[in-house]
Structure 1
């Protein structure tokens, strides 16, 4: 790719493909890269012509996590500013991950290589993970004396269960693609050459239905582990009321009725 941007966003046939574009650093997330990532996520969320999002990495890696040079710079700040600077950075990290997690359309992480630390968390923030045969995942925060700050402590137990999540976070060990599929981190494995195309095709399949229903359904599904059944039912009732008024619902019902009437006349 020839773009000089740290984030390369391409849109074709309603499917957005976002490439982390810092291959010389294995797509480690710098502050500048995060700023571009936020802007790209906001664009995708707000563009009704975009139906789904695929995220992948340019080069051999998906995302190596947080930028080490940025960590060094933060440690060189005056002692009295380190904590507040860290808090401010965390607000940006959480804002980014929340934008991705709450994206009102299907999201797929096409993990083309190593997804480490924040990179692994970013993959988990997507609805689905498709891994290449050379992909790997590691929650390597423990090796830097820190804890997962990109949502890993929330997302990982929901995919693999609490004991396995603890084991992966406490050890920081590497999980290859086959184990990732076996324990539920990855949903599918594809060849490296066909990974992005396969993810784009899956994204198109997932997003061919009503955008209104998809957005409302995803919003509720993202909260079902934390909410009691009666609250989920209530949210579903409200969302269904909105769906009843949508253009997609009206057009689909009218098309079905017209098709049924045509059959009856034969």
Structure 2
């Protein structure tokens, strides 16, 4: 059986590729388990400074796996709710790992990102898309609501009213409109999408890993926090930065250069 997920690390940038191209990389239970394990591995690996997430073939991720939906429909009535709750715990765990990874994360969206696939892209810090990429929060077309973080991430990208419109209609958004709305940050040609994204990841992660990790953790909470809370968290984080090897070495280098 082919691996549902591919991993590589080059020059400090990890690349995770969702690898079910025949299913447009729909997220199966097997793939989700591999995804969680890969995210935990990349988070713990200090040699990894940034993460790029993409899909194999023509699609980024078509959302949830249809076979899983079928099994859910066939479960005994008394088990549907609890089975759904247990599945949601796994979904949310994977999204949380991606969102809170203490390193820059970028989705390289090479094709359609639908439902959960669109949410997974939003969970990354940045999104680069191919001109043939598209996004749709299509849950409503199946009588569902976004369960992969879309209701949290999308309003922060496009504003509340626009997020409601996209979620209520489930309509398709092409790459040009996605860039205009702020869903994505950059567009890159299909041939250079992943290399361009990897290069941006290197640029984003070139600074102090300590400062980036602490800064990201505070920024991720800034919309829900009062100014005083952000300032307090910043003071604590800065105290840690003062003791970091990166800070000490950079200051000593600067002082030596100034003295020469």
Distance 1:7 1:258 in 2: 47
Alignment partner for residue 75 of structure 2, among 64, 74, 77? Answer: 77
- Any stretches of 5+ residues in structure 1 without a counterpart? none
User: Which residue of structure 2 aligns with residue 61 of structure 1?
Assistant: 59
- Any stretches of 5+ residues in structure 2 without a counterpart? none
> Any residues of structure 2 matched to 1:26-41 within 5 Å, and which?
26-41=24-39
Q: Secondary structure at the match of 1:19?
A: strand
Distance 1:73 1:57 in 2: 25
> Any residues of structure 2 matched to 1:48-127 within 5 Å, and which?
48-127=46-125
User: Which residue of structure 2 aligns with residue 223 of structure 1?
Assistant: 221
- Computed over aligned residues only, the root mean square deviation of the Cα atoms, in angstroms, reads 0.7
User: Which residue of structure 2 aligns with residue 7 of structure 1?
Assistant: 5
Deviation for aligned residue 1:168: 0.2
Q: Secondary structure at the match of 1:255?
A: helix
User: Which residue of structure 1 aligns with residue 237 of structure 2?
Assistant: 239
Deviations 1:63-98, CA, capped at 9 Å, x for gaps:
000001101101111110100000000000000000
Deviation for aligned residue 1:4: 2.4
How many residues are paired up?
A: 260
Distance 1:31 1:211 in 2: 32
Alignment partner for residue 130 of structure 1, among 108, 128, 135? Answer: 128
Alignment partner for residue 170 of structure 1, among 165, 168, 171? Answer: 168
Q: Secondary structure at the match of 1:27?
A: coil
TM-score, structure 1 as length reference = 0.97
User: Which residue of structure 1 aligns with residue 198 of structure 2?
Assistant: 200
User: Which residue of structure 2 aligns with residue 25 of structure 1?
Assistant: 23
Deviations 1:218-253, CA, capped at 9 Å, x for gaps:
000000000000000000000000000000000000
User: Which residue of structure 1 aligns with residue 146 of structure 2?
Assistant: 148
Q: Secondary structure at the match of 2:52?
A: strand
Distance 1:4 1:254 in 2: 50
Distance 2:130 2:101 in 1: 24
Deviations 1:171-213, CA, capped at 9 Å, x for gaps:
0000000000000001000000000000000000000000000
Distance 1:70 1:4 in 2: 19
